[in-house]
Structure 1
Amino acid sequence: MSVSIFDSFLTTSEIIQVFDDEAVLQAMLRFEVALANAQAQEGVIPAEAAQVIARHGDIAAYDVQAIIVASRRAGSMAIPLVKALTKAVGDDDKSAATHVHWGSTSQDVIDTGMVLATRDALRLIDTTLLSLAERLLDLADQHLHTPVLARTLMQPAQVTSLGFKFTAWAAPLVRARRHLKAAAGRALQLQLGGAVGTLAVMGDKGPAVVRRTAAELGLAVPDAAWHTQRDEWVRLGLQVAVLAGSLGKLATDFSLMAQGEIAELAEPAGAGRGGSTAMPHKRNPVSCMTALAAAGRVPQRAAALLANMGQEHERGLGNWQAELAEWPGLFISTHGALQAMREAIEGVHIDTARMQRNIDALQGLVYAEAVSIYLAGAIGKPQAHTLMEELTGRAVSESRPLGEVVIEAVRRDEQLDSRLDLDALQALFDPRVANANAAELARAQMASLRQALNEPGSPTSQP
């Protein structure tokens, strides 16, 4: 697969190689060899023919560019590939050439080739995903009690735990890994049905050939050919798309916390990383930028998969081909976003002192709800809410800490002063008291997330 310089900028060399032209064509040849071996074992074709076919299963012996060019005219990548394979086998043994691609169809070759390539892509995604999720959970554990501002509608809201925030970032990644595992188990299956999905040429040997071919390739055995029944395949693609969306959320939050005016997080520094051609002082969040750009391209690809599910009868006209063209980009973008955020989180700089300064700069206003609830125990919720509106307004207008204003007001009110514990009231302005509940919630969630990560298997446990 050829990608532009801008595609390469947003992804990894490893995932590009998975869907490289030679890699996909090699996967298709693997199908042809496995099919011949299975048919020989079932007596459908001579064993000698299968051996000759297997000798010509290396894509390095073929002119890949010529196959690609010929496919445009043929309307299928499989047609010129099978033709080239047949010629190579025929040059070796004319009788064996008649058994190449026996009882199969072009879509069997292409779909199975894409399944094999996708399995490799999912392995890359799973490895990077696991590393990123584990790192986030380790950071969550380290910063379980670190106070940080929670923000709603882009405004400071309350004090929370940084560990709680990291856990929230990790959770959808852990869920994505589980969902990918389940979806891959259903979607990574052999495609073999012959011309219209009935295995007619192989007769009663067809089901056994399917089982043997699937076993050799390490793929699941399908209930039937899925030439135009793409539901499980598309579900796998959509799970990849959801993962990309979760990475976009992570990159958004990280980049906002890395803004110069906030400066609570920063991406790892290094020579040539995140600089500006015009402004030497800048430290740009380039990993977040890469992840956001990559993830921003995924929804359109996912929509294309859904839009092309209405494939006609037993072979789609244009819609299957459109799906094939979109499929690699979905994985290429997602792995690019994954790798970018793994790099950012692996070397993240956390400024806890800045986090505390950002909390302190709000003059205690972020503790207003907790204080209002405490006051409500003494004077009722409506009156407490009214009083806190007045006191927060005073704190802002007088540029004074809210805690100081509240304590002063309580001491002036005999009813409140006699019914409230001032030490308990003052403690509500302690950020570690404020984030205690978040820390405990995060601790409990972290345990379940780590357990999920340690479950046996991965999205691609087949060989």
Structure 2
Amino acid sequence: MSVLIFDSFLTTTEIIDVFDDAAVIEAMLQFEQALAQAQAAEGIIPQAAADQISAHCNVRNYDIAAIVVASRRAGSMAIPLVKELTKAVAQADKDAATHVHWGSTSQDVIDTAAVLLTRRALELIDSTLLGLIRRLLDLAGQHLNTPVLARTLMQPAQVTSLGFKFTGWAAPLVRARTQLRTVAHRALQLQLGGAVGTLAVMGNKGPAVVKRVAAELGLAEPQSNWHTQRDEWVRLGLEVAVLAGSLGKIAKDLSLMAQGEIAELAEPSGQGRGGSSAMPHKRNPVSCMIALAAAGRTPQRAAALLANMPQEHERGLGNWQAELAEWPGLFISAYGALHALREAMDGLQIDSARMLVNIEALQGLVFAEAASIHLAGVIGRPEAHRLMEELTSQAVSSRQQLSAVVVAAVKTDARLSGKIDLPTLEALFDPVVATACAANLAGAQLSSLQASLA
């Protein structure tokens, strides 16, 4: 697969190599070799023919670029590859050449190759995802009691725990890892059905051949071919898409918290990372950029997989091919986002002092709900809510801390004076105290997430 420059800078060489043109052809040849050996073991073709076919299933012996070009006219990459494999075998043994690709069809070899490559891609995703999850859980444990502003509709809302935010980021990733493993167990299966999926050419030995080929390639044995029944395969792709969306959520939050005016978190810097061609002071969140780019493109890829599921009869016309074209990009993009955020979290810079400054700059307004609930114990919720609206307006107009305004009002209000414990009321305006509920919830969730990883 040739990856355009604007794709390649948003991902890594490792994942590009998984779906490289040579890797695709090599995987197709793996299928042809396994098929020949399985058929020989079942007495369908001579063992000598299987050995000749196997001997010529070396990707280095083929002009990959020429095969790609020829496939445009043939309508399938398998056709020119099988032609070249047959030609190579014929030069050594003409009889053996007649048994190349026996009883199989183009979709068998291409789908199975895609499965083999996807398995490698998932191994990369799983190991990097595990590393990112562990890092987030470590950060969560370290910052259970670190106060930070929670924001709703892009506005300051209340004080929460930074650890609570980190566990919130980690939880969907833990679920994604579990789902990917579960779905992959079903989706990573051999494709082998022959022309119309009935294994007709191999007769009653067809199922035994399927069993042997699946075992040789380390793939699940299918109950039947899935040439146009794409549900399990597409479901795997959609789980990758959901992962990309969860990564985008993390990147969105991180990029907002890294804005210069907020400056609570920052990606690692140095070595040319996140610089600007015009402004030396810039510190661009490039990991977030990569993850958000993936999240922005993934829905279209996922939609393409779904849109192309209604495939005609026993072989799709254009829709299977469209699915194939979208598939590598989905994994390449998602892994790029995953790798980028792993880098960001490994070197994440946390400014807890700035978090407190941002809380204090709001004059205690983010504690208004807690104070209102406390006052409601004496004067009822509607009256407490009305009073706190007045007091918050007074604090804003006078540029005072809300705590001072509330304490003064309590002292002068006959309904409240002597009935409210002032130290308890004042403690409600302490950012560390305000994190207690979030910290407790995060601690419980953290233990659960760690247990699920184990």
Q: Which residue of 2 aligns with 1:439?
A: 439
What pairs with 1:361-376 in structure 2 (closer than 5 Å)?
361-376=361-376
Q: Which residue of 1 aligns with 2:295?
A: 295
Counterpart check, 1:396 vs 2:391: no
Q: Which residue of 1 aligns with 2:121?
A: 121
Q: Which residue of 2 aligns with 1:71?
A: 71
Contact 1:38-1:212 at 8 Å conserved across structures: yes
1:45-75: per-residue Cα shift (whole Å, max 9, x none)?
1111111111111111111111111111111
Q: Sequence identity of aligned pairs in percent?
A: 74
Counterpart check, 1:252 vs 2:234: no
1:323-343: per-residue Cα shift (whole Å, max 9, x none)?
101100000100011111111
Q: Which residue of 1 aligns with 2:276?
A: 276
Report the alpha carbon displacement of residue 290 of structure 1 after superposing the two structures with TM. 1.4
The amino acid across from 2:210 in the alignment is: V
Contact 1:150-1:158 at 8 Å conserved across structures: yes
TM-score by length of 2: 0.99
2: CA distance, partners of 1:68 / 1:224: 29
1:106-150: per-residue Cα shift (whole Å, max 9, x none)?
000000000000000111111111111110000000000000000
What pairs with 1:52-451 in structure 2 (closer than 5 Å)?
52-451=52-451
Contact 1:11-1:294 at 8 Å conserved across structures: no
Q: Which runs of 4+ in 1 moved over 2 A?
A: none
* RMSD (Å) for aligned C-alpha atoms: 0.8
Report the alpha carbon displacement of residue 99 of structure 1 after superposing the two structures with TM. 1.1
Q: Which residue of 2 aligns with 1:24?
A: 24
The amino acid across from 2:256 in the alignment is: L
The amino acid across from 2:313 in the alignment is: H
Report the alpha carbon displacement of residue 432 of structure 1 after superposing the two structures with TM. 1.3
Secondary structure (helix, strand or coil) at the match of 1:101 reads coil
Secondary structure (helix, strand or coil) at the match of 2:415 reads helix
Report the alpha carbon displacement of residue 277 of structure 1 after superposing the two structures with TM. 1.4
Secondary structure (helix, strand or coil) at the match of 1:60 reads helix
Secondary structure (helix, strand or coil) at the match of 1:148 reads strand
Structure 1: unaligned runs, 5 residues or longer: 455-463
Report the alpha carbon displacement of residue 88 of structure 1 after superposing the two structures with TM. 1.1
TM-score by length of 1: 0.97
2: CA distance, partners of 1:60 / 1:430: 68
Report the alpha carbon displacement of residue 249 of structure 1 after superposing the two structures with TM. 0.7
Q: Which residue of 2 aligns with 1:457?
A: none
1:268-319: per-residue Cα shift (whole Å, max 9, x none)?
0112111111111111111111111122111111111111111100000111
Secondary structure (helix, strand or coil) at the match of 1:198 reads coil
Aligned residue pairs, count: 454
Report the alpha carbon displacement of residue 414 of structure 1 after superposing the two structures with TM. 3.5
The amino acid across from 1:72 in the alignment is: R
Secondary structure (helix, strand or coil) at the match of 2:150 reads strand
Q: Which residue of 1 aligns with 2:40?
A: 40
The amino acid across from 2:395 in the alignment is: A
1: CA distance, partners of 2:222 / 2:4: 36
2: CA distance, partners of 1:424 / 1:15: 56
2: CA distance, partners of 1:450 / 1:31: 39
1: CA distance, partners of 2:238 / 2:220: 20
Report the alpha carbon displacement of residue 415 of structure 1 after superposing the two structures with TM. 3.2
Report the alpha carbon displacement of residue 417 of structure 1 after superposing the two structures with TM. 2.1
Secondary structure (helix, strand or coil) at the match of 2:417 reads helix
Report the alpha carbon displacement of residue 95 of structure 1 after superposing the two structures with TM. 1.4
2: CA distance, partners of 1:277 / 1:78: 46
Structure 2: unaligned runs, 5 residues or longer: none
The amino acid across from 2:20 in the alignment is: D
